[in-house]
Chain A
Amino acid sequence: MAGIVGYGAYIPRHRIKVEEIAKVWGADAPSYKKGLMLEEKSVPSPDQDTITMSVEASKRAIKRAGIDPREIGAVYVGSESHPYAVKPSGTVVAEALGATPDCHTADFEFACKAGTEGMFVALNLVKAGAVKYGLAVGADTSQGAPGDALEYSASAGAAAYLFGNDDLLAEEVATCAFMTDTPDFWRREYQYYPRHGGRFTGDPAYFKHIIGAAEDILSKTGLKPPDFAYAVFHQPNGKFPFRVGEMLGFSKKQIETGWLVNKLGNTYSGSSPLGLTAILDAAKPADLILMVSYGSGAGSDAFIWRVTPRIEEVRSLAPRTRDLLDGDKVYLEYGAYAKFRRKIRKAE
């Protein structure tokens, strides 16, 4: 039986409020806040990127797992904001953790579900006995185009998962994928900002694939929503996870614990993985957790986890996600935010 042996989260300290962004673009802040159920988002400082956050989240996962990093046989980093177009984030992460040189590495890309894709692969390599431990990270410092609706939510964060066959803190019960070619949100090579299909990103994209994957995994396992203690869905804004949860038959209470987006924003490849870390910070042994990611383009990965007693022994070995989210925040004005996010055109 394979599953999670360690998990770790990283959230930068800086934040910007919806009102601050709305002020600059002349938008109506209260309607954005209400419509998106969003208050503020995390902002990476100029010295943070997908790689730095992945390293810190991974170190926390290793702390909880209590393993020797040299035994990690695969490192996968999923992101849509890898610092390099060619040269993997994974090599820097593996080197920083001390997992090199006998370690498989590649970067994953699938909009917001790159992290969970990496999780699926790492988990199954472990299951197949190909590696003793596999590490998968979902991390992003994605950009929202200035003045675009996505600017209110595009944020930064990382969640790392170490998979193994023994001493699990959560067992894998089932996985499945639901994927089609749907161009709801994309970015062409050499373009700085992504583009999206507006309302097309709703029903035919987010909802169709999450529901597709969730229904598949529930029918495959014979489980029903009330069987679960928690459910976490991809969180592009505050409303969608509750709506899709309701459509599937999950209650607000099941979704709340993993719902970080109102204070965090959409961490893209980190979104449902970070939500899962917050759940693992609170879950009890034998709890069942449903996790369904969503990546534009489009697809969803569904996982069902069963928490083991070991969670209580290791959870406090690294910072809790809610503490990272709520503690020591530093608020930025739009000017500093634009400078941090390199939205200001400078001399060559």
Chain B
Amino acid sequence: MPTPSKHWREIPQRYRLEAGKCTRCGYVAFPPRLVCPECGNREFAPVKLAETGTLLTYTVVRVAPGGFEDEAPYAVGIAELADGVKLTAQVADCAFADLKVGLKVRLEFRKLSEDGAAGVIAYGYKFVPA
């Protein structure tokens, strides 16, 4: 059972979508990182990700990993956000038959997981149909 620090550290990203934009080439790193993978620059300006996008791909997870058993089946997808960044997340509130490449989505604050009935609850973002 991980201590709370592992999740707490990612809060600025999970709650507020805080990213870093390379000051030299404009690459947006989410999560933020120390070295730009495009140009090697070490300086980034704080930015927030766009909250709407389009699904590039998706699937329905029917065999879930530990901790997600009760949620299966659930949809996941990769969307290209309005700012060009590609993001992976669950797709909530969407009938599986309505999933398609090109589906317009927006980000909504949801519970991502919880560490049993007594552990810390992890919150973050999921896609919902826009």
Contacts and interface: CB of A to CB of B under 8 A. Distances in A.
Instruction: Check if A and B associate.
Output: yes
Interface of A: 13, 45-49, 51-52, 55-56, 59, 83-84, 92, 95-96, 98, 328, 330, 339, 346
Contact of B126 (A47, A59, A92): A47
A92 B16 CA distance: 11
Given A83-B121, A96-B15, A98-B16, A49 B108 contact: no
B93 A45 contact: yes
Contacts of A84: 121
Nearest to A13: B93
Contacts of A49: 111, 121
B27 interface: no
B123 interface: yes
B93 A96 contact: no
B109 interface: yes
24 contacts: A13-B93, A46-B70, A46-B71, A46-B111, A47-B90, A48-B110, A48-B111, A51-B121, A51-B123, A52-B109, A52-B110, A55-B109, A55-B123, A56-B108, A56-B109, A83-B121, A92-B15, A92-B123, A95-B16, A96-B15, A98-B16, A328-B93, A330-B93, A339-B70
Given A47-B71, A51-B123, A346-B70, 14 more contacts: A13-B93, A45-B93, A46-B70, A47-B90, A47-B112, A47-B126, A51-B121, A52-B109, A55-B109, A55-B123, A92-B15, A96-B16, A96-B123, A98-B16
Contacts of A56: 108-109
Contacts, number: 47
Contacts of A95: 11, 15-16
Interface string B21-40: 00000000000000000000
Q: Closest 6 A-B residue pairs measured CB to CB?
A: A55-B109, A96-B15, A47-B110, A47-B111, A13-B93, A52-B109
Instruction: Tell me which of A47, A59, A95, A98 has the highest count of chain B C-beta atoms within 10 A of its own C-beta.
Output: A47
Nearest to B18: A98
B14 to A, nearest CB: 9
A330 B94 CA distance: 10
A156 to B, nearest CB: 13
A229 B123 CA distance: 40
A15 B11 CA distance: 31
Interface of B: 11, 15-16, 70-71, 90, 92-93, 95, 108-112, 121, 123, 126
Instruction: Tell me which of B90, B112, B121, B126 has the highest count of chain A C-beta atoms within 10 A of its own C-beta.
Output: B121
Contacts of A13: 93
Contacts of A51: 111, 121, 123
A49 to B, nearest CB: 6
Given A46-B70, A47-B92, A52 B111 contact: yes
A45 B92 CA distance: 9
A49 B109 CA distance: 10
Instruction: Tell me which of B16, B70, B110, B126 has the highest count of chain A C-beta atoms within 10 A of its own C-beta.
Output: B110
Contacts of A45: 92-93
Contacts of B16: 95-96, 98
B120 to A, nearest CB: 8
A47 B70 CA distance: 11
A84 B110 CA distance: 16
